[in-house]
Chains A and B, each alone.
Chain A
């Protein structure tokens, strides 16, 4: 009977939802620790279950894709915060845009170059290029550029967690810290996880970070597929 249940899309949909809710509970229990976001704990629980039950990913996916489907409308909906941000940053638009374009180009160029020379597998290098944009966009980009979406999701998650931890410390150490510099740097390099860290630092940090994250994501999604 158990092996029958493990074949059902409903079972895996339910287990994923349960894993997410449990992850959310842990996250809140840990005072919203940015090193263990619900997406990471949820991912670990689901992967563990797949491993223990020896369920092939293709079976899991039949339930899981009901959730992944919503990434599409979520990305379309990013137009809403983007419009808000356009209004807020009109005055400093040029300098912020320059910082976002050059900053994100730098982090990606370094990562792609290192991957190319150190690992040298094209699919991984291509996937690396989308590491600094928010996951739904990174997945959309890698699907477009023949990268590996699951790997992209992992890169994005790791980048976000490390970036959220080290960027504020780094900029503070170099006396470059301000709501604008740290906020934008978090959004550019560490997307949504960076933005949740920025929310902890203060409202102004959060606004800059959210704006930088959305702009970086749309910019990359439009530019990267032509380059790869």
Chain B
């Protein structure tokens, strides 16, 4: 578990390094993920330790997200003013997205 976590953190730092070196706007954690993916593809096998750490961390995601979500308390003004509109936008925009996805898959099958 700890060896895997160490490896994930090393790739995170590599992502950070790449980001500041090449100056691209992609989040450093995503660059770290892509670097790890390339590493795995080159090895053509997922290192056991990394897989264990990734699988242990993933289910805890909701816990890691709560502190960021709680930051919403600092955005009360936006919620009061635009909350309903935002809710409507979030709901409506789902429908065309789901339809396009499903239709392409259905047509592609033929």
A residues apposed to B, CB below 8 Å: 16-17, 19-20, 23, 37-39, 42-43, 46-47, 50-51, 57, 60-61, 63-65, 67-68, 70-83, 86, 92, 95-96, 98-100, 102-104, 106-108, 110-111, 114-115, 118-119, 121, 124, 128, 131-132, 134-137, 139-141, 143-145, 148-151, 153-155, 157-159, 162-163, 166-167, 170-171, 174, 176, 178, 180-182, 184-185, 188-190, 192, 212, 218, 221-222, 225-226
Chain B's interface: helix, strand, loop or mixed, by majority? helix
Assess whether B36 is in contact with A76, with CB atoms less than 8 Å apart. yes
Which residues of chain B come closer than 8 Å to A131, judged between CB atoms?
90, 93
Which residues of chain A come closer than 8 Å to B15, judged between CB atoms?
76
Which residues of chain A come closer than 8 Å to B66, judged between CB atoms?
16, 19-20, 39, 42-43, 46, 64, 67
* B62 nearest CB across to chain A (Å): 4
CA distance A19 to B94 in the complex (A): 30
Query: A50 — nearest CB in chain B belongs to which residue?
Result: B73
Which residue in A136, A155, A181 is a CB contact (below 8 Å) of B64?
A136
- The residue in B32, B82, B99 that gathers the most chain A C-beta atoms within 10 A of its C-beta is B99
Interface size grouping (class) on chain B: 35 or more
Chain A's interface: helix, strand, loop or mixed, by majority? helix
CA distance A58 to B60 in the complex (A): 23
- The residue in A46, A50, A67, A80 that gathers the most chain B C-beta atoms within 10 A of its C-beta is A80
